[in-house]
């Protein structure tokens, strides 16, 4: 992630939750759409009757809505981007990446309308229900563009791969749907196919020219106050972190290995791993910040070292060829 993107994403646990829930919502929305199309095509397997597809479709849509609520609530609760409750309800009302966030709001409202009218289907009748249900086809590409335009992970290969996989699944399902039907519906199906192809090409071209280019955080409309915020330092940490370690391994007079490590991202943090003393069975870990000892605790050793320093869980993984060793420190909370 670039410094700008880091600044724009912030290190808080709420922001990580927003991102995770956003990705999960997109995946569930995709699965819901594909299952919905399978239901309308009356797909069934040898061992999977049609009602299984229908009930999975219904249950996944409810789960997607639940995750969407988590996504929105955590985005609003996180103070970093300054997204207000109103910005999550009124499309294009917010200052943070206005257009791309606004498309997410439109998508969410479309999704909420589809789920709500499905729950009220008996009352509103099949015609009105079906009309609203078409919104699902619009909500999906809007969510994709929102995710790529707003998300901190849009440039990551895993996010691009996941989005491409979701797009492939939806395109395959939509193609199957459009290939089914008589002559009477051929013109409408032809128009829908052209719209699907045009939308796919447009989103791919926009992704290449926009979110994948350097400087997207600025062009996407990230407020200047956030862009100019200093890149968070380890001292600003509020949640779990993972840092690279560098150090050396020396042999004690009794031939046992003793490892001294420094946190490469937070150099005032040092870690020493001592072999067990004569009356001990476990190695000892000492964590120091500057001249202050934060803890001196026993560690379980497997492929990595596990220890609890105060209330912070630590995993220290070592790599490299002695005497030069490196590795990573994963901690459940800041070490202060
Ligand atoms: C169906 C509706 C929605 C879906 C499927 C969705 C999905 C996503 C996805 C996939 C991301 C990218 C996450 C990443 O890069 O790791 C994202 C980002 C984001 N979404 Fe949504 N979203 C929806 C609606 C909304 C709404 C209504 C809001 C309003 C608060 C919102 C706020 C955000 C924010 C602030 C981000 C940026 C998080 C980051 O920096 O990664 N989303 N969303």
Structural domain ending residue among the three candidates 227, 256, 274: 227
Q: Which residue carries 């003793």 as its tokens?
A: 258
pLDDT band at 7 (very low <50, low <70, confident <90, very high): very low
> Which three-class secondary structure state does DSSP give residue 311?
coil
CA–centroid distance, residue 161 to ligand 1 (Å)? 17
Atom nearest to 150 CA in ligand 1? 37
Half-sphere exposure of 282 (CA within 13 A, CB side): 13
Q: Are residues 199 and 290 in the same domain?
A: no
Q: Whose CA is nearest to atom 38 of ligand 1?
A: 151
Residue of the nearest CA to atom 25 in ligand 1? 104
Ligand 1 pocket, CB under 6 A:
9, 18-19, 22-23, 25-26, 29, 68, 71-72, 75-76, 81, 83, 88, 101, 104-105, 107-108, 111, 143, 146-147, 150-154, 159
Q: Are residues 243 and 221 in the same domain?
A: no
Give residue 94's domain range: 3-227
Q: Is residue 155 domain-shared with residue 28, that is, in the same domain?
A: yes
Q: Is the pLDDT confidence value at 279 over 70? A: yes
What are 208-260's pLDDT values in tens digits? Answer: 999 999 889 899 998 888 777 666 677 778 889 998 898 898 887 778 889 99
Going by C-alpha positions, the residue among 154, 149, 117 that lies closest to residue 133 is 117
Whether 192 is covered by a domain: the verdict is yes
Residue 189 lies in a domain: yes
55-70 average pLDDT score:
96
Domain annotation covers residue 248: yes
Query: Cα Rg for the chain, rounded, in angstroms?
Result: 26
| Helix intervals (H) in 210-309 | 216-219, 224-227
Pocket test for ligand 1, best of 81, 151, 154 (most atoms within 8 A of CB): 151
Does pTM top 0.75 for this prediction?
no
Distance CA 75, CA 66 (A): 14
Counting residues of the chain whose pLDDT is more than 90, the rounded percentage is 66
Q: How far is residue 283's CA from residue 271's CA, in Å, rounded to a whole number?
A: 13
**pLDDT attached to residue 215:** 87
Q: Residue 285: in which H helix or E strand, if any? A: strand 284-289
Looking at per-residue confidence, does 99 or 232 come out higher?
99
Task: List pLDDT tens digits, range 115-143.
Answer: 999 999 999 999 999 999 999 999 999 99
Q: Does residue 233 belong to any structural domain of this protein?
A: no
CA 96 / ligand 1 centre spacing (Å): 12
Q: Are 68 and 166 part of one and the same domain? A: yes
| Residue that has been written with the tokens 């996407």 in this structure | 220
Task: Provide the token pair at 274.
Answer: 């001592």
Atom of ligand 1 nearest to the CA of 26: 5
Tell me which of 205, 227, 249 is where a domain ends: 227
Query: Do residues 130 and 268 both lie within one domain?
Result: no
Give exposure, 194-219, as e/b (b: 16+ Cβ within 10 Å).
eebeebbeebeeebeebbeeeebbee
Instruction: Report which protein residue has its CA nearest ligand 1's atom 15.
Output: 151
* Residue 286 in tokens: 């000492």
Q: Within a domain: residue 82?
A: yes
Inter-CA distances, 237 with 18, 233, 333, 334, Å: 17, 7, 8, 6
d(C-alpha 100, C-alpha 222), whole Å:
10
Considering the domain boundaries, does residue 232 fall inside one?
Answer: no
CA-to-CA dists, residue 177 to 43, 113, 114, 189, angstroms: 11, 22, 19, 9
The minimum-distance atom of ligand 1 relative to the CA of 76 is 30
Work out how many domains the chain is built from and give that number. Answer: 2
138 and 270 share one domain? no
Dump the DSSP string for 60-109.
HHHHHHHHHHHHHHHHHH-TTTT--HHHHHSTT--STTHHHHHHHHHHHH
Shared domain check, 25 and 67: yes
User: Measuring from atom 4 of ligand 1, which residue has the nearest CA?
Assistant: 143
What spacing in Å lies between the alpha carbon of 150 and ligand 1's midpoint?
Answer: 7
């Amino acid at each position: 992630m670039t410094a700008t993107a880091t600044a724009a994403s912030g290190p808080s646990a709420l922001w990580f939750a927003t991102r995770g829930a956003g990705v999960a919502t997109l995946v569930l929305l995709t699965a819901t759409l594909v299952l919905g199309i399978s239901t309308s095509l009356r797909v069934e397997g040898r061992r999977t009757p049609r009602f299984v597809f229908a009930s999975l479709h219904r249950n996944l849509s409810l789960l997607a809505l639940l995750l969407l609520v988590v996504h929105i609530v955590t985005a609003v609760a996180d103070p970093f981007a300054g997204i207000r409750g109103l910005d999550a309800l009124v499309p294009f009302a917010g200052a943070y990446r206005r257009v791309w966030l606004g498309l997410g709001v439109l998508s969410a409202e479309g999704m909420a309308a589809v789920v709500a009218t499905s729950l009220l289907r008996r009352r509103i009748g099949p015609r009105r229900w079906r009309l609203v249900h078409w919104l699902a086809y619009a909500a999906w590409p809007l969510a994709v563009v929102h995710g790529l335009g707003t998300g901190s992970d849009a440039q990551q290969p895993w996010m691009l791969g996941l989005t491409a996989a979701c797009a492939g699944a939806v395109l395959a399902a939509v193609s199957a749907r459009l290939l089914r039907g008589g002559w009477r519906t051929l013109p409408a199906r032809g128009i829908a196919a052209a719209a699907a192809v045009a939308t796919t090409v447009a989103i791919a071209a926009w992704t290449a020219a926009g979110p994948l280019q350097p400087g997207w955080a600025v062009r996407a409309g990230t407020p200047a106050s956030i862009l100019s915020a200093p890149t968070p330092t380890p001292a600003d940490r509020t949640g779990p972190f993972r840092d690279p370690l560098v150090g050396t391994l020396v042999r004690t007079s009794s031939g046992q290995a003793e490892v001294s490590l420094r946190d490469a991202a937070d150099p005032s943090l040092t870690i020493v791993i001592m072999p067990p003393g004569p009356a001990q069975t476990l190695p000892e870990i000492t964590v120091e910040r500057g001249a202050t000892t934060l803890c001196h605790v026993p560690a379980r050793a497997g492929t990595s070292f596990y220890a609890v320093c105060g209330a912070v869980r630590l995993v220290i993984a070592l790599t490299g060829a002695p005497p030069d060793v490196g590795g990573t420190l994963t901690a459940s909370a800041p070490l202060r």
